[in-house]
Amino acid sequence: MNLRATVLLTVRLLAAVASAAGTPPDKIWQPATLRPEISPLPTNHFSIPPQLSALADWNIFYTTRAGDVWLGGGNRIARQHRGQWSVFTSTNLLGPEQPLGFAETADGRVWCATAEIIWQFDGRNWLATRSGLDHVHTLLAARDGTLWLATARGLLRYTRGAWIVNGFGDGLPAGDISSVQEDDHGAVFAQTTNGWFRFEPDADTDAPQTEMLSTKFDHANIQEDAVITLHFRGRDKWDQTLPDFLLFSWRLDEHEWSAFQPETVVALSGLGLGRHVFQVRAIDHNGNVENPPAELEFNVVVPWYREVRLVGALAFALLASLFFGALALNRHRRLQHSYAKVEQLVAERTGQLELANRELLHSQKMNALGTLAAGIAHDFNNILSIIKGSAQIIEDNVGNPEKIRARTARIQTVVQQGAEVVDAMLGFSRSADAPLAPCDLNAVVADTRKLLGDRFLHETEVQFTPGENLPEIPVPRDFVQQILLNFIFNADEAMTGRKRIELATTLSEKLPAEIYLPPAAAEKFILIAVRDHGAGIAPALRARIFEPFFTTKNLSARRGTGLGLSMVYELAKKMGAGLAVESAPNVGSTFTLIIPVKL
């Protein structure tokens, strides 16, 4: 055994030991310690016929194992087969131009390399099998049937129907591969800028493994007209070949394997009925092919609309659904008709209730006006009496300017008083539907006090403490006045003897303790309080004071209707205000209107 055979055997043993020990093997390309022993090519012993010599400058010569002679030069290729010469001329890259060399693989196929394309002879014509190469230097057909290409960007290897690129990740230096040669012992060497490198096929003998990702199709039933998209991926055991550089070949139902390609997706369509088996295998940069391949089994079944029994059942179900759907629709329409009648009756009753509510509100307002009428009439009688007397004095003293000016001033004073009463009355009777304008609540309370008249104020002392820095806010003026008049009249009737009612306005961020109607949310509130010093309200009755027709005056000389405070509740609710009541027996009561300040 010579030295080279010993080294080769040692490398194979080390690779086997490394694989068994579970350690990553060496790269498949290793720097060569010795220069390859390559015998010179045999000299051609044939002469070129004169008719061929004139066609081209033949500079490439090759003889196949069958004895065929191939010549290459310029854009022409010539072949001698069974003593006959044939010439192939290429135009527009329809055949090899400027050939660099010929090679014959073990299966008898003849190959030709040009600078950018590898061609294969099919017995009649040249066919391009690999294009887009970067300057091919050498074409080599090794003894094991592998076809090698040395290019400016690496080394290409054609084996088992796959074009495999060997480069930096396989142990070769990056860059130009100037030559690839096979020595006398069958070892393959590549010449690089860093010297010679030797191909060690036994360094990595572990084949990659493929994993099916489309597991949802495994043993699944697929419709006959469906398109199945299968995804898969591979992994080399030692990552000698990275996953993105693995090549895959697939087949369906034991048919021919497809060519190795980098794609990891396959779309299948037009499949026949029955069971199908999809197989896929991977090949790494050392030519190791996965065995056995990864498999996925599925069944192609008839579409549901071609199943007679299923279609019949569905038709029956559809008819039943239509029947019951029509029945449900009929009931639904009858219910809609009934609902429409009910909604019409509800709308009519709601309109009647709103009308009754407006009439009740008007009645309450008229009752309040009736209560105020006597006092206001008395005030106006006093005003008219003063005007009448002053006019008589002016008439009797036409020549006395001093008396005329005094009586004129008196008339102006009482007229101003009457005008203020009229303004207060107008504000109280203004419609709630009028647009809201910001108003001063202190002025509203003061105008409400003027509505009471001199007679009421003579019998009952009404004190008003206006709050400071109250903001003007848009509120229904007549609502506020009607609520205050209800509070004032109830306070007056709750007291005997010396009567005193206290009115006060304040701006507060906190709400009173006992709230019966919460106001709308706000940061600040204006509180209008009406306080009396009467008998107070018992705790058992306090929870019902805002109920309609509930009154505490059943035994009094003036029986109440029980609607005053219920209307107060509704008015406050409409304007978004709140109500609070504080009362203690024999101490008095305080009714507070809470108006939110919305900025």
Could you tell me which residues come within 8 angstroms of residue 182 by beta carbon, excluding any fewer than 6 positions away?
38, 140, 142, 143, 188, 189
pLDDT of residue 7: 46
Same fold, 3-203 and 435-597: no
Higher pLDDT, 225 or 172: 172
pLDDT average, residue stretch 116-132: 91
Residues in a beta bridge with 113: 101, 118
pLDDT of residue 399: 82
- Given a cut of 50, whether residue 57 has pLDDT beyond it is yes
CATH architecture type of domain 435-597:
2-Layer Sandwich (3.30)
pLDDT average, residue stretch 464-491: 90
pLDDT of residue 18: 47
Kindly state the percentage of the chain with pLDDT values over 90.
38
Residues in a beta bridge with 539: none
- Given a cut of 80, whether residue 368 has pLDDT beyond it is no
Which residue from 70, 65, 64, 67 is spatially nearest to 48, judged by alpha carbons?
70
- Given a cut of 90, whether residue 417 has pLDDT beyond it is no
pLDDT average, residue stretch 403-429: 68
pLDDT of residue 374: 54
- Could you give the CA distance from residue 407 to residue 405 in angstroms, rounded to a whole number? 6
Report in angstroms the alpha-carbon separations of 255 from 9, 214, 276, 312, 502.
39, 21, 11, 39, 107
Could you tell me which residues come within 8 angstroms of residue 290 by beta carbon, excluding any fewer than 6 positions away?
207, 208, 209, 210, 234, 281, 282, 283
pLDDT average, residue stretch 513-542: 91
When mean pLDDT is compared across 2-6, 86-90, 224-228, 386-390, the lowest value belongs to: 2-6
Rounded to the nearest integer, the mean pLDDT of the chain is 84
Which residue from 531, 530, 532 is spatially nearest to 498, judged by alpha carbons?
532
Tokens of 43: 């000299």
209-306, which class in CATH? Answer: mainly beta
Higher pLDDT, 366 or 97: 97
pLDDT of residue 103: 94
Half-sphere exposure in the Cβ direction for 389 (13 Å, CA): 9
- Given a cut of 80, whether residue 528 has pLDDT beyond it is yes
Higher pLDDT, 83 or 430: 83
pLDDT of residue 424: 55
- Could you give the CA distance from residue 586 to residue 538 in angstroms, rounded to a whole number? 10
pLDDT average, residue stretch 291-308: 85
When mean pLDDT is compared across 116-125, 471-480, 551-560, the lowest value belongs to: 551-560
pTM of the complete model: 0.49
- Given a cut of 90, whether residue 393 has pLDDT beyond it is no
Contact of 446 with 538, CB cutoff 8 Å: no
pLDDT digits (tens, 9 = 90+) for 565-583: 888 888 899 999 999 999 9
- Could you give the CA distance from residue 594 to residue 265 in angstroms, rounded to a whole number? 74
- Could you give the CA distance from residue 53 to residue 76 in angstroms, rounded to a whole number? 12
Residue 402's pLDDT band, with cuts at 50, 70 and 90, is confident
pLDDT of residue 410: 67
Tokens of 425: 């009355």
pLDDT of residue 458: 80
pLDDT of residue 405: 81
pLDDT digits (tens, 9 = 90+) for 478-488: 889 888 988 99
Residue 555's pLDDT band, with cuts at 50, 70 and 90, is very low
Contact of 258 with 180, CB cutoff 8 Å: no
Higher pLDDT, 33 or 41: 33
Higher pLDDT, 288 or 599: 288
Q: What angle do CA 525, 531, 534 make, to 5 degrees?
A: 155
Q: Is beta strand 438-439 parallel, antiparallel or unpaired with respect to 228-235?
A: unpaired
Contact of 232 with 280, CB cutoff 8 Å: yes
- Domain spans of the chain? 3-203, 209-306, 435-597
The residue count of the chain comes to 599
Phi-psi domain of 175 (left: phi exceeds 0; alpha: psi -120 through 50; beta: other): left
Residue 493's pLDDT band, with cuts at 50, 70 and 90, is confident
pLDDT of residue 145: 87
pLDDT of residue 560: 54
pLDDT of residue 376: 60
Residue 423's pLDDT band, with cuts at 50, 70 and 90, is low
Could you tell me which residues come within 8 angstroms of residue 372 by beta carbon, excluding any fewer than 6 positions away?
451, 452, 453, 456, 485
pLDDT of residue 23: 65
pLDDT digits (tens, 9 = 90+) for 154-179: 899 999 889 999 988 899 998 899 99
Higher pLDDT, 505 or 454: 505
pLDDT digits (tens, 9 = 90+) for 179-193: 999 998 889 999 998
Residue 269: count of CB within 10 angstroms of its CB: 9
pLDDT digits (tens, 9 = 90+) for 13-30: 554 444 444 567 789 999
Contact of 115 with 72, CB cutoff 8 Å: no
Residue 36: count of CB within 10 angstroms of its CB: 18
Instruction: Spell out a b/e string for 223-240, using b for 16 or more CB atoms within 10 Å of the CB, else e.
Output: eeeeebebebbbebbeeb
CATH architecture type of domain 3-203:
7 Propeller (2.130)
- Given a cut of 50, whether residue 1 has pLDDT beyond it is no
